Structure formats: structure tokens, C-alpha cells
Amino acid sequence: MPDEVRFATKPRLAWEMIAAALDAGVKAPWVTGDEAYGQDPQLRASLETRGTGYVMAVACSTRVRINQGRTPVRADTAAGRLPAAAWQRQSTGPGAKGPGYYDWAWIHIGTGAHRHLLIRRNRTTRELAFHLCWSPTLVTLAELVRITGVRWSVEECFQAAKGQVGLDHYQVRNWTSWHRHITLAMLILAFLTAVADSAPKRSTGPQPPARNSEPISLTVPEIRHLFTAVLSPPTVTPARLLHWSNWRRRHQATARHSHYQQRSPDEPEG
């Protein structure tokens, strides 16, 4: 490890990367993260200073100020006082198993109109999750809900990198070789993602996709599978390879249709 590298917490590392991106001209109106980042007041303050909105997960024991900042209270206590009419059923966006519907409520905290406590309630277990939110301009509840859903794309990216290109297949014994491995793995994932993004897409709106024989769009795992089969010594003909690809994706389309039906807004989550 280079001598100039010093220990830094995860929130500190996150802020250094965010600041570098903002300084480079990256347009990032929102930042979202889990409790490891949401519980850090310095990170939240730094984002506010730069005018970047955030939706950060926090613990149920987090204390917030309601009644125009006059009354300090725990987040879960504030949620328990909400009337039934305060909850709205909304989706965080489409996913592999359909739209993720939850019940949501928000509470103005502090003295301004740009600071909220956002609460998510699981429709089946009634479990609550809490988020501290700040925005430089007025926003809607639907926009804050959308941002919470964006966070999962980061998790999906890491899972894809580990499962498809071996991001975690290294023992981290040397600084230089570790960076080379990580860089190569992420470069390959970026290439596969670009290929998948450029392929023809099937429409996947908020409604369940119609049941038909059309396969789903090409995915990163499917493209990696095809590249592996093409670059390795062929054991089957290209026509048979494409036939199996279409077969897999047709069955995935059927499974997706079933998931969307099960997770409609009027049905409980499975």
C-alpha cells in the first residue's frame, strides 16, 4: 500500500468519490445510500453544502425534529403517530420480479420545507424502514420513492460483477495487482452492459408484460454466456447456440409475467 494512503471511513471515502465526480462536472442531483452512510452527519452536511439532494437510510432510533423543529422524537415514534390516511402505496420502479410496491409516508422535519423523514412499510410484514431526505428544491413523495429504488441498481451492479466477471475472485494480497484485477473486471462488465443496452429491447412498463412466446431482452449473463460459447472451442453449431438462448429467454419471459401478476399493487407481496 502506498505510504500516502491513510485510513478513511466508508462515508469519508464516499464523499471523496462524490466530490471528485462533482468537480469533474458530473450531473448528480441525488445521492442515496444505506445506514452506513445515512448515519454520518458530516456526509449529509457536505452534500447539502454542494446542493446535492440525498435519500439516506437511517436506523429507527434516529432522532428527528417535528412540529417546525420544536419537538425531538425518535423516527419510529414519529411513524407510529401517523394516521392511516398518511400512507400511500407506490412502486420503487420495475424489477426482475415486477414492480416493488410498498406503503410510504413522509414527515416534514426541521424548520424548512426541503427536509423529510421518509418511511417505507412492507405490505406483508409491516416492517418499517426509515430515510432522511433533503433536497435543494421542493420535491414530491413519488420522487423520493423513486430515488430509494435507484439505490438497488448499485447492489445489482455489484452482484453482476461478482457473478459474471469475477470481481470478488481475488484475495487482495497486493495493492497494484488488486487494482488491476478490479479495473479489468469492471471494464468487462461495462462492455457487457453496453452490449446489452444496445440490443433491441422489449417494452417493460408498469403493467405486467403480456403472455406470449417472445423472449426477454438480452441480459448481461446471457451475453456473457454467448461470448463464452463463441470464444471457446465450439461443441455445438451457432444455430443451436442461438436456439438455446431464445429458449432460455422465452422461459424467463414467462417467469417474469408470473412475477408481475403476483406483485400487482392490489396483491400482497410474496
Residues 64-85, mean pLDDT to the nearest whole number = 95
pLDDT (tens digit, 9 = 90+) per residue, 233-263?
666 677 777 777 777 777 777 777 776 666 6
Q: Which helix (H) or strand (E) holds 249?
A: helix 238-262
Please list, in sequence order, all residues whose beta carbon lies within 8 angstroms of the beta carbon of residue 136, skipping any fewer than 6 positions away.
51, 52, 53, 114
Q: Cα 185 vs. chain centroid, distance in angstroms?
A: 20
Q: Which of 149, 174, 166 lies closest to 32 in space, CA to CA?
A: 149
Q: What is the pLDDT of residues 196-208, one digit of tens each?
A: 889 887 655 545 5
- What is the distance between the alpha carbons of residues 236 and 247, in angstroms, rounded to a whole number? 15
Pairwise CA distance, residues 38 & 164, whole Å: 30
What is the reported pTM?
Answer: 0.76
For the chain, the helix, strand and coil percentages under 3-state DSSP, each to the nearest 5: 45, 15, 40
**Binning pLDDT at 50, 70 and 90, where does residue 2 land?**
confident
- Which three cell numbers, joined as nine digits, stand for 254? 414467462
Tell me: pLDDT of 97 over 70: no
